[in-house]
Amino acid sequence: MKRILGVLLMSVILACSMTSEPSFERDSDDYQKMVKSALVDTGNNFRLKTVIEKIKKGDKVYIAAIGGSVTEGAGPQDFKDGYAYQFFKSVKKEFAPDGGKNVYFNNAGLSGTPSLLGRLRYKSDVVDVLGHEPDLLIVEFAVNDGGEEVYNQSFEGIVRDALLANPECAVIALYSAATYGNTAANKKKVASHYQIPQIDMLPVVNDAIKNGTFKKEDYYADYVHPTKYGHTLMSDSLLYLLKTVDNAKKDKKVNVPSETAVKKALTNVVRILGDDDNVKITKGSFDSTDDSCQTLKKTNKSDFPVNWHKKQNSSSSEPLVLNLKCKAFILTYKVQGNWMSEKFGKAEVYVDGKLAGTYDGGAEGGWNNCEARVLFNGTEAREHKIEVKMHPDSEKLGFTIVAMGYTE
């Protein structure tokens, strides 16, 4: 977790790193070899080839990317020099008529987003923003996720839900690189199960640095975020995948597997925005809204406008109580930055009367980032009562529940 927290912190403070000219040329043989080597597997090309055909014909095509700070564009001085935006421009230039007016794009990258938090954000931040199920979806979480099974469950949940909603959605698994490695090995089982393309930057970057093709600082702005030119390498690798598929014979249509690749994959997640037919909330002392939650670079607005905040020195200490029927429950809380005037403390979370966890909203190293936790993950939907209340040592301190969601 320390490694992940470090990634999250650097996502914010290093988003504007300056970069020098790289020691490699894009048209060189060495560079082109790197681009080609990043492609691990084209998977079944039916979906991706179908998308390319639609772009060429001038049909409307919706492209989205979801991931952490790398997807959001951290590293270059301008976040729009990130790989996702570069790729979008390249696709329009390479395949689309009339300047690509038929191609729509949504970058749903958010600093510090592991796939578990991305799982909560997928519908609201990808589908709802596009106003359409994506035709092409890039999923990038390999440097934000840990090795625990919950990240495989959430990664698969995103992939599976995208395919079930649009069976012709061309999902691409993109594994970015970090100096400490990535979790591509964990995700390849899921990607192979759904026969989706896979791109892994880590071995390519490691080999290039080792053999002197380029210097470490050519690719890395820090220890995880690419420079502008590192992002270009990622974008070019994605475009190479599309060119390869475009020039290949079209595979037969593949169906979405009836079974999941991992047990208890977090599919059909519903993000809670208030009371509904299934969810009843008593806010208790968590009756305020926190206006200092994480913001999206593309809008400079909070990505979590609906949240449940217990103010410091609140006169009430009543718990927040939820009653609902579900299989699994995800709770996300904010870790307050130590520069903020309001001080945060610990909250205890109870499920059906039993303590499920104690979470520290004032933990050292916080930068207003989000931490997501699965409180439980069962096989059948059951009635549950969830209570969140301040730890006895933190009753006068603040705490924010940033987001909540459940599987039906």
Q: Do 298 and 345 fall into the same domain?
A: yes
DSSP SS3 for 146: coil
Handedness of CA 86, 91, 94, 97 (dihedral sign): negative
**Do residues 193 and 103 share a domain?**
yes
Which of the four pLDDT bands, split at 50, 70 and 90, describes residue 24? Answer: low
Q: Are residues 181 and 50 in the same domain?
A: yes
85/231 same-domain check: yes
Residues 42 and 29: their CA atoms lie apart, in Å, by 22
Say what the pLDDT of residue 20 is.
53
For residue 251, tell me if it sits in a domain.
no
In a domain, 252, yes or no: no
- Which of 215, 246, 277 lies at the terminal end of a domain, its last residue? 246
Q: How far apart are CA 370 and CA 68, in angstroms?
A: 12
Q: What is the pLDDT of residue 22?
A: 63
pLDDT tens digits, residue range 206-261?
A: 999 999 999 999 999 999 999 999 999 999 999 999 999 999 999 999 999 999 99
Q: Report how far residue 69's alpha carbon sits from residue 77's, in angstroms, rounded to the nearest whole number.
A: 13
SS3 65: strand
Provide the CATH number for the domain around residue 371: 2.60.120.260
In the prediction, which pLDDT does 2 show? 41
Residue 30 lies in a domain: yes
| Residue 130 in domain | yes
The CA distance from 321 to 402, in Å, is 15
| 255 in a structural domain | no
If one counts the domains in the chain, the total is 2
Determine the average pLDDT of the residues in 102-127: 96
Confidence at 18, pLDDT banded by 50, 70, 90: very low
| Max CA pair span of the chain | 68
In this prediction the pTM is 0.93
pLDDT score recorded for residue 338: 85
Residue that finishes a domain, picked among 246, 279, 311: 246
CATH of the domain at 215: 3.40.50.1110
Average pLDDT of the segment spanning 306-312: 97
**One domain for residues 280 and 194:** no
Q: Are residues 279 and 189 in the same domain?
A: no
The answer on 273 and 213 residing in a single domain is no
In the chain, the N- to C-terminal Cα span, in Å, equals: 28
Question: What residue numbers bound the domain in which 6 lies?
Answer: 2-246
How large is the average pLDDT for residues 345-364?
97
Answer whether residue 95 is part of any domain.
Answer: yes
Do 167 and 23 share a structural domain? yes
Query: Residue 261 domain-assigned?
Result: no
Q: Are residues 297 and 235 part of one domain?
A: no
The answer to whether residues 130 and 175 belong to one domain is yes
| Residues 220 and 346 occupy one common structural domain | no
In terms of domains, do 240 and 110 share one? yes
Counting residues of the chain whose pLDDT is more than 70, the rounded percentage is 94
Contact of 230 with 218, CB cutoff 8 Å: yes
Q: Judge whether 264 lies within some domain.
A: no
